[in-house]
Amino acid sequence: MILEWFNAQEAIDAGGALADSFLRDDVRANKGRAKAQAGDRRAEVQRLLRRAVLDAKPLKLNLFKRAKLLGAFKWRLIEQGFDDARADELTHLLLLQLSGARAPSAPYQSARLPSEGGARKRIDQAIGAADAAARRGDYAEAVVRLQEVLSVDADHVIALCNLGDALCFLGRYPEAEQAYRRAAQVAPKSADAHLKLGAVLHSRGEFAGAETALRRAVKLEPRSPNPLCALGHTLTALHRTDDAKICFEKALRLKPRSTGALCGLARLATMDGKFGDAEALLRRALEFDPECIEAHTWLVEQRRMTPADQDWIERTRRLLERPLAPMQESGLRFAMGKYFDDIGDYASAFEAFRKANEERKKISIRYDRAARTAWVDDVVRHYTAERIATPLAGASESQRPVFVVGMMRSGTTLLEQIIASHPRATGAGELQFWGILEYKHQDWMRGRVPDLGVGENLAQSYLEELARHSSDAARVIDKTPANVDYLGFIHRVLPNARFIYMRRDPVDTCLSCYFQNFVNAASFAMDLQDLAHYYREHHRLIAHWRSVLPKDVLLEVPYEGLISDPEAWSRRILEFIGLEWDPKVLEFYKTERAVLTASHWQVRQKVYSSSVGRSKHYQKYLGPLLKLRGLSP
């Protein structure tokens, strides 16, 4: 729901209501001869439109919403007897009123706006053309027209924000970020500019920057639910669920019909395993807005769909007929894929997932095969058994950290849930500590020896991170799959930490990745050829760690073995990390804790084997993945 400003149902309703309000005035009596009187009545018409626009101001209209509002306004006039030309004229006048409807505290007109009539006319015409293009769904044309405005006035905040909106629809998020960032600089008191900047940063996975922008938006408009909802979703992504809940609940108090707040609370309920509560919240959101894409998309995550859910798939098809941002369309198509997979229509499921991934490609940085191979080459070359055997100065002897690693969708969340069900263990979820460190100091991860004292600082900082999740647990699990890239470096900082590698059938694993909407991560998962390449490099890397790490710090757990004999493997896992046996781990599905990954539903169920061999239903589509079965464990 971070991009909920694309949801235009309120704007469509408002467009019709504005037309009705306009018609209720004495203009209604003159509509038959309004065209002849247009010159005489222009001032009166503008006065009436200005009054109507005051009702639209709370909607925080962007390019998309404003286009929908104007379209609804025009068609309501035509329905009531206005000819096309007159309806177009009134709609254009309304556009001009909407463009100037911002309060002085949020200056949407540049202080340097040209006063010459010609320049002002060019700007008005270009904004009108951009709105018309948006109504047609031609966002590329809208971009061109808005750039015309900015060529006249580079600081025109309406044009900057609308340009960002149009670019989002085209999946050009880096450019959209630049437009929103400029708008926030030009109009630092514009809550909308900060809101949109925060939302696009969230969509790109830059959650820290998103939080900063969204907190600014909340401060500027503390009584508006939209910034609170957006902040809540970003805090959820940062795993700060208690703070996120406060945001959603406050937004709901401000606006009881806020679909953003309802969907946010539903997401938190899902993470807590309260699927019935989540579904009730989502259905409530759909009562308020039947076209709320977030609520509709998330319904399929609450349970296994059946043929009785025909109304859901029919509504999905109707929603996909609308112009949607790539992120919205991909989300709907991933949900559609799950629906068809649940009911056993595997051909339709694969086609839905294929189209979903094609949409994701429009908004994602493409996977770089050469760069991935170079990374693994460097790690293999530098992290020899001799180097790994030497801890960094100041390394910690702590045995608290347990790292659960593996490919995404290999069963790491299940394994974490099992261990976290032990009374002396807790799960910390997917921590970003080592990934952020790699981003800042990639050379360390590739083998360059860091400066003296770094080992002690890193060990202390990481243990403090674990302490924030539990102050007394004997073992704390960090189940970030990507940590498999850094095992050599981590071992030098924490030589007594334990690594558990989850191994699953490679084709099942990669297929599950292809079917998962990761949104902000895993660019390799959008293409079967890329998946095959990434898995081969992953396999090469874990083979290297297996050969150079001490035998007592790395345990490999086969997913299929854990499913077929959970007690035997659970006993072995607990013994490996130094915990006594406790039968509670066999009832992991009863453990009450937030699960913040895509496996939130699976780990609330008893052990089931339907995911083993799942790829057999899709053999004829998998081409490059099938050769992965020839890789040795």
> What whole-number distance in Å separates Cα of residue 257 and Cα of residue 259?
6
b/e code 344-379 from CB counts within 10 Å (16+ = b): eebebbbbbbebbbebbbebbeebeeeebeebbebb
For residue 111, what are the contacts with CB-CB under 8 A and spacing of at least 6? 155
pLDDT for 419 equals 94
Question: Residue 181: pLDDT band by 50, 70, 90 thresholds?
Answer: very high
Provide DSSP, 198-224.
HHHHHHTT-HHHHHHHHHHHHHH-TT-
Provide DSSP, 436-463.
HHHHH-HHHHTTPPPPTTHHHHHHHHHH
SS3 state at 561: helix
Over residues 4-28, the mean pLDDT reads: 60
pLDDT for 4 equals 53
Provide DSSP, 322-369.
S---HHHHHHHHHHHHHHHHHHT-HHHHHHHHHHHHHHHHTTSPPP-H
CB 252 within 8 A of CB 223: no
Q: What is the residue type of 565?
A: D
Q: State yes or no: pLDDT of 586 exceeds 50.
A: yes
CB 528 within 8 A of CB 428: no
Over residues 107-130, the mean pLDDT reads: 64
CB 73 within 8 A of CB 92: no
Instruction: Determine whether 276 is exposed, middle or buried from the number of CB atoms within 10 Å of its CB (0-12, 13-18, 19+).
Output: exposed
> What whole-number distance in Å separates Cα of residue 469 and Cα of residue 429?
9
Among 341-350, 509-518, 531-540, 591-600, name the one with the lowest average pLDDT: 591-600
Question: Residue 416: pLDDT band by 50, 70, 90 thresholds?
Answer: very high
Q: State yes or no: pLDDT of 101 exceeds 70.
A: no
Round the average pLDDT of the chain to a whole number and report it: 83
Q: What is the pLDDT of residues 517-536, one digit of tens each?
A: 886 567 899 999 999 999 99
Over residues 587-601, the mean pLDDT reads: 58
Provide DSSP, 567-592.
HHHHHHHHHHTT----GGGGGGGG--
In CATH, what class is 370-630?
alpha beta
E strands present in 453-573: 475-478, 498-503, 554-558
Q: What is the pLDDT of residues 357-378, one digit of tens each?
A: 998 888 777 899 999 999 999 9
Residue 632: CA count within 13 A, CB half-sphere: 2
Report the percent of the chain where pLDDT is more than 70. Answer: 78
> What whole-number distance in Å separates Cα of residue 472 and Cα of residue 518?
33
φ, ψ of residue 83 to 5 degrees: the values are -80, 165
CA dihedral angle for residue 136, residue 137, residue 140, residue 142, rounded to 10 degrees: 60
φ, ψ of residue 141 to 5 degrees: the values are -65, -40
Of 575, 545, 525, which Cα lies nearest the Cα of 483? 545
* Angle in degrees, CA 397, 402, 408, rounded to 5: 145
pLDDT for 89 equals 67
**Residue 311 CB neighbour total at 10 angstroms:** 8
- What sign does the dihedral 195-197-200-204 (CA atoms) show? negative
pLDDT for 50 equals 57
> What whole-number distance in Å separates Cα of residue 335 and Cα of residue 313?
9
CB 255 within 8 A of CB 225: yes
Q: State yes or no: pLDDT of 610 exceeds 90.
A: no
> What whole-number distance in Å separates Cα of residue 128 and Cα of residue 148?
12
Quote the longest CA-to-CA distance of the chain: 92
Predicted TM-score (pTM) of the model is 0.75
Q: State yes or no: pLDDT of 110 exceeds 70.
A: no
Q: State yes or no: pLDDT of 6 exceeds 70.
A: no
Question: Residue 451: pLDDT band by 50, 70, 90 thresholds?
Answer: low
Tokens of 141: 């044309």
> What whole-number distance in Å separates Cα of residue 53 and Cα of residue 99?
10
Of 230, 66, 72, 70, which Cα lies nearest the Cα of 159? 66
The DSSP H or E segment spanning 404 is: strand 401-406
> What whole-number distance in Å separates Cα of residue 518 and Cα of residue 361?
12
Over residues 400-429, the mean pLDDT reads: 93
Helix (H), strand (E) counts: the chain: 30, 5
pLDDT for 301 equals 87
Greater confidence (399 vs 15) lies with 399
Would you give the distance in Å from CA 314 to the centre of its chain? 24
pLDDT for 453 equals 73
Q: What is the residue type of 316?
A: T
Q: State yes or no: pLDDT of 354 exceeds 90.
A: yes
Q: State yes or no: pLDDT of 344 exceeds 80.
A: yes
Report the percent of the chain where pLDDT is more than 90. Answer: 51
Helix %, strand %, coil % of the chain (to 5):
65, 5, 30
Greater confidence (33 vs 454) lies with 454
CB 240 within 8 A of CB 275: no
> What whole-number distance in Å separates Cα of residue 432 and Cα of residue 573?
24
pLDDT for 129 equals 87
CB 398 within 8 A of CB 372: no
Q: State yes or no: pLDDT of 423 exceeds 70.
A: yes
> What whole-number distance in Å separates Cα of residue 327 and Cα of residue 632?
37
